[in-house]
Amino acid sequence: MKVKTVELKGNKGVLKIEDTDVYFVNSLRRVMLAELPKLAIDNVIIYDNTSALFDELIAHRLGLIPIPTDLQTLVFRDQCKCEGKGCPNCTVRYTLSKEGDCVVYSGDLQPEHPSFAITENTIPIVELMKDQRVILEVEAVLGRGRDHAKWQMVLAPRYRMETKIQVDKKHINEVKAFVEELPKDLVELKGDKLELKDPSQKSILESYLEKHKADYISITKDPSKLLFSFETDGSMSAKAALQESINILAKKYEEFRGLLKDL
């Protein structure tokens, strides 16, 4: 297997993976969606709420706010030595108190420890009018996407196979005439080879091929060459999410290998 990093900065990651099988990349995708742990608000105590929104709506919005997640310092509450009571090893607490004519944002959540300060701090929670207020306390705990969508860190992980465009050399003049009809930034003709300038525009080329019935040009896919891309919600960097997902997948393969030995 060959892996080339196309982009791995901030919340976005793009990898070019060659000499592999689709099932392996799909396994990584499913781990990112369902198995990758992250912090999310799971318990909300509202002391006062005179806003236009019900308590349940505010609690729901709070649950979807990305919480900075450090898997090196936190454990799952059901695995903690506190036996689920909620301690600094498994629980992160925030408080919020706002009043007056303003918008309450995610950044208004005040963490118990500065290292857990909200980084995506401009997510609106509720708009307050004059003399309205919201006072609450919340607890964030680790969870997985398979348990609830609020614990899903990676957004829309996806992959696509490398596209190959084959040209009938006997009809090269027709190919040239066809290329002239296409948008200038869509494809490039290099000798007798046709290449997409942007692989994501494949569907546009296919629509032109169907419209002009250009059977002298065919598009095939190579399942051994994949472009894998994903984004995180900001609770963890793309690089950290990828590394943790790989670790989880490796452990699952080891566990499966152990089960096979016992057969």
Tell me the pLDDT tens digit for each residue of 86-110: 899 999 999 999 999 999 999 999 9
Please tell me the distance from the alpha carbon of residue 58 to that of residue 132, in angstroms, as a whole number: 14
Q: Which residues of 88-110 are buried (b: 16+ CB within 10 A; e: fewer)?
A: eebbbbbebebeeeeebbbebbe
Q: What is the pLDDT of residue 133?
A: 96
Mean pLDDT of the chain: 91
Q: What is the pLDDT of residue 13?
A: 95
Q: What is the pLDDT of residue 186?
A: 86
CB 72 within 8 A of CB 150: no
Please tell me the distance from the alpha carbon of residue 251 to that of residue 223, in angstroms, as a whole number: 25
Q: Are strands 102-105 and 38-49 parallel, antiparallel or unpaired?
A: unpaired
Please identify which residue in the block is written with the tokens 């996806």: 158
Which one-letter amino acid corresponds to residue 13?
G
Residue 66, CA distances (Å) to 42, 104, 113 in order: 12, 16, 16
Q: How confident is the model at residue 122 (pLDDT cuts 50, 70, 90)?
A: very high
Please tell me the distance from the alpha carbon of residue 103 to that of residue 36, in angstroms, as a whole number: 32
Task: Please state which CATH class domain 38-151 belongs to.
Answer: mainly beta
Where in the chain are the domains?
2-34+156-228, 38-151
Q: What CATH number is given for 2-34+156-228 in this structure?
A: 3.30.1360.10
| pLDDT score of 191 more than 80 | no
Q: How confident is the model at residue 188 (pLDDT cuts 50, 70, 90)?
A: confident
What is the pLDDT averaged over residues 226-252? 94
Please tell me the distance from the alpha carbon of residue 78 to that of residue 73, in angstroms, as a whole number: 15
Q: What is the pLDDT of residue 66?
A: 95
Q: How confident is the model at residue 261 (pLDDT cuts 50, 70, 90)?
A: confident
| pLDDT score of 230 more than 80 | yes
0.95 surpassed by pTM? no
Q: How confident is the model at residue 175 (pLDDT cuts 50, 70, 90)?
A: confident
Q: How confident is the model at residue 53 (pLDDT cuts 50, 70, 90)?
A: very high
CB 189 within 8 A of CB 256: no
